[in-house]
Amino acid sequence: MAKNKLKIIFFFTVLLFIAGGFFWLVQKNKIVQTIENGVVNKAVVTVDKENSEVVEKKVAPNFFVAGWIPYWAKSSGVTSLQGEMGLFSQLNLFAFSVSTDGKLVDTAKSKIAPWPQLMADAKKQNVKIVPTILWGDAVVMHKIFADPVLRSKHVDEIVTMLAENDFTGVDIDYEGKDVADRDNFSLFLQTLHEKLQGKILNCTVEARTQDNPPADLTAVRAMSWANDFSELNHFCDTVTIMAYDQVFQIQRAKVFEDRSLTLSAPNAENAWVEKNIEYALRSIAPEKLILGVSTYGWEFRVEKIAEGYRYSRVRSLSYPAAIELANSVDVVPTRTLGGELAFSYNAVDGQHLVTFDDAESVKDKIKLAKKFQLKGINLFKLDGLTDPKLFEILKNQ
């Protein structure tokens, strides 16, 4: 009997010890759950009793959300992320470019404010920082890619840059390549993939919806076909399709004609974006594919011609600029059939058409990415000039 009593006492003592420890953990780290649109969202709240501070860390969603911060708007872009960092899985700094002799150039001055603080804040919240190398010189690209020695040297320079800055990977955004450099560009990606040793390789490429370029597109005008999608799937950890600048990706010109009797110059209409996704998925695994999504728009001057209209590009417009322009000419933007906002007005030089993206059009693109079970989206761009409702859309995605 005495032995049984001792066992019982010991058993209850252990239970009290476990319960006490659990209570202490609950007080230090509380799991907060909210339900939005049928999805449970969690946040870990850590109570620091010594400093009497409460720090909330949002648990990163399964759906991948990234955004490009341009070096030309780095201050406003970084400021816009204050309090919203936890909404992102990854941030791409438009940081590096390539000189005419093929060397990397730190265009953004990545070691000078506001970048160091952004990187420190991102690290605390487990947000990956991946720099983008933006390059658009087809002549120099051909020189580098066609020469095995220069190609290898360029790869080594990228690897060194990543190591020196402790970046988690690199985003290769080499636009406007000559279609003749398709195979050599793939060789470049293969070599880079082999030397990155576990760091992320994202490949950002132009959109397309068919296997071969139209007959009238050659050289750099056929830039979308300078990317071998099957090779991208093999060598890139993720592939971002720039599914925006629609009329320019189709027309390859600043001035173009359209035989449609309806004014229309879409930046990223939903049907076109969906076609790009469907085509890309023929070669690229959905878990690797990221949908590039725009947060801006374009203004065109429009001329009536015998059959349809001639469009001349005037400028790109941020969301606030487009709204301000609409207000100044006393016009209310309307939703297009493609899911974007648009309006036209009469200027001194004739009729103008503006098409731009807002939080609602971004929401449509998120739905498309989820419909096809893609890895996620990447927003171009986070410059502090997006629709104010954008972050609310991301919170509820």
Phi, psi of 170 (to 5 degrees): -140, 150
Full DSSP string of 248-305? HHHH-SSEEEE--SS----SS-HHHHHHHHHHHTTTS-TTTEEEEEE-EEEEEEEEE-
* CATH homologous superfamily, domain 61-252+264-293+359-395: Glycosidases (3.20.20.80)
Does 25 have pLDDT greater than 50? Answer: no
Using the structure block, give the residue that is written with the tokens 């419909």: 371
**Integer Cα distance of 294 and 364 in angstroms:** 12
Tokens of 145: 């890619």
> CA-to-CA distance for 171 and 150, rounded, in angstroms?
20
Short-list 382, 203, 170, 380, CA closest to 288: 203
pLDDT digits 0-9 by tens, 203-231: 999 999 999 999 999 999 999 999 999 99
Provide, rounded to the nearest whole percent, the portion of the chain with pLDDT above 70: 85
- From the list 355, 319, 133, 334, the residue with the least C-alpha distance to 246 is 355
Q: What angle do CA 367, 379, 341 make, to 5 degrees?
A: 65
- The two tokens of residue 344 are 């036209």
Phi-psi region of 330 (alpha: psi -120 to 50; beta: other; left: phi over 0): left
pTM of the model: 0.85
- Residue extents of the structural domains in the chain: 1-59, 61-252+264-293+359-395
pLDDT in tens, 96-153: 999 998 999 999 999 999 999 999 999 999 999 999 999 999 999 999 999 999 999 9
The CA distance from 397 to 388, in Å, is 16
- The one-letter code for the residue type at 157 is E
Determine the average pLDDT of the residues in 309-337: 98
- Strands 64-70 and 90-98, bridge-based pairing: parallel
Q: Backbone phi, then psi, for 132, in 5-degree steps?
A: -100, 135
